[in-house]
A and B are shown apart, each in its own frame.
Chain A
Amino acid sequence: MAKVKKLSPIAIGFILLLVFWQFAIFIGGHQSALFPPPLKVGEALLAIISDGSLFAHIQISLFRFFSGYLAAVIVAVILGLLLGRSMLVWKVVDPIVQVLRPVSPIAWSPFIVLWFGIGNMPAIVIIFIAAFFPVLLSTVSAVKKVDRTYLRIASNFEMSPFETLRKIVLPASFPMIANGLHMALGSAWIFLVAGEMVGAQSGLGFLIIDARNSLSLDLVMACIVVIGVLGLALDKGIHYFESWVNRIWGSAK
């Protein structure tokens, strides 16, 4: 019963979306080739599910996504911890970050292709860039906000700088960092498709380009649905990750 209650608002939302979608087609009188109705999209979706190609594309897309995302998280958190602890260095680095951050990762794609070739790398690098800055900035500001009391304890207990980072700064700033990880996941996922439009021969982004080239807009729409649903699943996933880490953080070792 409780499960039904929790599910139903989500179900209602999706049903409403489908109804509007169908309605817009009736009202506008669009050609189904230009604005495919839900049923045709469903058929296209079933077709790529049943021939197995969808899962191959999802698999490679997720591989690229997590390679780029996790690499960005590791590098950005470590850098953020160090930079956040050293105000002097951060004052120098901050303007550079502020100049680089607003540049869309896609803008780098000509260089990325030149430097990394085609295949998996361009998408991974673009996702890396997309995830890197939000994680870096949230880590730095989390480290700067660490309660001074904790740092006093660290110096009172004669902890080494590394110990202070590991035992005090990282756990104390963790909730805010996790928030940054969450935000970065969303923005990095947005750039997956764009990344795979740069020289990839597989993946969900490639599938969209491929379907567009053969003018099957129902397939394009099916891909959009898949990307959206996967994005939602990832968001839910990191939510569980967040609460899981928060739970074990206290009694952990």
Chain B
Amino acid sequence: MIDIRNVSKSYSEQGPTVLQDISFDIKKGEVIAILGKSGCGKSTLLNCIGGFEAVNNGQILLDEVSIRKPSKRCIMLMQNYGLLPWRSVRKNVELGIENISLSKQEISERTLHYLRMVGLEDRANALPSELSGGMQQRVAIARALAMQPEVILMDEPFGALDTFTRYYLQDELMQIQRREKMTIVLVTHDIDEAIYLADRILIMKPNPGEIHKEIVLRLPKERNRADADFQHYRELIFNEFQFTHETTIEFNI
């Protein structure tokens, strides 16, 4: 579905190469996690896939068509949620579906449907500032889902949340993904999160940003963080990191 072919990127002519010769493809309905230490170009890669940044070399194709600018087919979840503070939760979710040909009733039905899905239908009239960080992230997820995109791009979606909220939202996201079958590209530096959510993990290494290794997770969809298999992948990835970096990395269990 998404084809990334020999993509290179630097932010300025003389500047360092941020991404170098990156190639991989993403199949429909797949969950891909991109893992790597800070500054290795994960966000840059995601921005290129979303059409927010132009690539210098190579191309990124969505269903064989080159991505040149952001589109509704591919919704980005922002690192800081990106809710509009002057709009209520309901109006925030409606933001993306106001300008398509839907009747008022269809808009509010769809909005309520997805707010219910993330368990926030009773907070529809609250302002984002009145919600906790985890609730705000759920609103952002509902807003993305309401647009029924084919791809959702997530840049460290749960990075700012405490462990319990993070686990809870990861579960929720898994269930929604299984139901809605959308494709997800997830940037994270939490190894557990990557193993828990992804079908495939791409490990990046910095200077210049390259794909260091691809790990296909042969785990059932229903995962348990205490499983032996889970532990196996955890070690595998951890060793990859020790291999590529001298510096310590963030390691959440």
Chain A residues near B (Cβ < 8 Å) = 149-150, 152-153, 155-160, 163, 167-168, 171-172, 174, 249-253
B52 contacts the other chain (CB 8 A): yes
Instruction: Select from chain B the residue with minimum beta-carbon distance to A156.
Output: B70
Please indicate the chain A residues that have their CB under 8 angstroms from the CB of B87 in the complex.
171, 250
A157 to B99 CA separation, bound complex (whole angstroms): 9
Complex Cα spacing A174 to B86, Å: 10
Instruction: Judge whether A171 and B147 touch: CB under 8 Å.
Output: no
B76 at interface (Cβ–Cβ under 8 A)? Answer: yes
A150-B82, A172-B86, A253-B91 given; 14 more Cβ-contact pairs under 8 Å: A149-B80, A152-B52, A152-B78, A153-B78, A155-B69, A156-B75, A157-B99, A157-B147, A158-B70, A158-B72, A167-B95, A172-B84, A250-B86, A251-B125
Residues of B within 8 A of A253 (CB): 91
- Taking a contact as CB atoms under 8 Å apart, the answer to whether A149 and B78 are in contact is yes
A250 touches B85 (CB 8 A): yes
Q: Could you say which residues of chain B place their CB within 8 Å of the CB of A153?
A: 78, 82, 84, 95
Q: How far is the CA of A171 from the CA of B74 in the complex (A)?
A: 25
Q: Is B71 an interface residue (CB 8 A)?
A: yes
Q: Check if B86 sits within 8 Å of A157, measured CB to CB.
A: no
Residues of A within 8 A of B99 (CB): 157-160, 163
Interface residues of B (CB under 8 A from A): 50, 52, 69-72, 74-76, 78, 80, 82, 84-88, 91, 95-96, 98-99, 125, 127, 147
Classify the secondary structure of A's interface with B.
helix
Asked whether B96 lies within 8 Å of A157 as measured between CB atoms, the reply is yes
Asked if A168 and B84 make an inter-chain contact with CB atoms under 8 angstroms apart, the answer reads: yes
Shortest beta-carbon contacts, A-B, top 5? A249-B86, A156-B70, A250-B127, A155-B70, A157-B96
5 A-B pairs with C-beta separation under 8 A: A150-B82, A152-B78, A157-B72, A168-B84, A171-B84
**Given A152-B52, A156-B72, CB of A171 within 8 Å of CB of B96:** no
Contacts of A174 in B (CB 8 A): 86
- Per the bound structure, the CA–CA distance linking A171 and B72 in Å amounts to 22
Q: How far is the CA of A17 from the CA of B74 in the complex (A)?
A: 66
In angstroms, Cα B52 to Cα A157, docked, is 12
Collect the chain B residues with CB atoms within 8 Å of residue A171's CB.
Answer: 84, 86-87
Q: Are B76 and A157 in contact (CB under 8 A)?
A: no
**A174–B80 alpha-carbon span in the complex (Å):** 21
| Contact call B82/A251, Cβ cutoff below 8 A | no
Closest CB in chain A relative to B127 CB, distance in Å:
4
Compute how far the CA of A157 lies from the CA of B147 in the bound complex, rounded to whole angstroms.
9
With a cutoff of 8 Å between Cβ atoms, the chain A residues found around residue B84 in the complex are 150, 153, 168, 171-172
A7 to B231, CA, bound (A): 69
Contact A157 B85 (CB under 8 A): no
Q: Are B86 and A152 in contact (CB under 8 A)?
A: no
The interface residues of chain A lying within 8 Å CB-to-CB of B147 are 157
Question: What's the Cα separation between A155 and B68 when bound, in Å?
Answer: 12
* Nearest chain B CB to A99 CB, angstrom units: 35
Q: Is the CB of A156 within 8 A of B76?
A: yes
Whether the pair B127, A158 counts as a contact (CB closer than 8 A) is no
Closest to B78 in A: A149
Q: Residue of A at shortest CB range from B75?
A: A156
Q: Are B96 and A149 in contact (CB under 8 A)?
A: no
**In the complex, residue of chain B having the shortest beta-carbon distance to the beta carbon of A253:** B91
The closest CB in chain A to the CB of B91 belongs to A253
Using Cβ atoms and an 8 Å threshold, which residues of chain B touch A149? 78, 80, 82
- Whether B88 pairs with A152 at a CB distance below 8 angstroms is no
Known A-B contacts A157-B95, A157-B96, A253-B91; the reply to A152 vs B71 at CB < 8 A is no
In the complex, A50→B166 CA distance in Å?
72
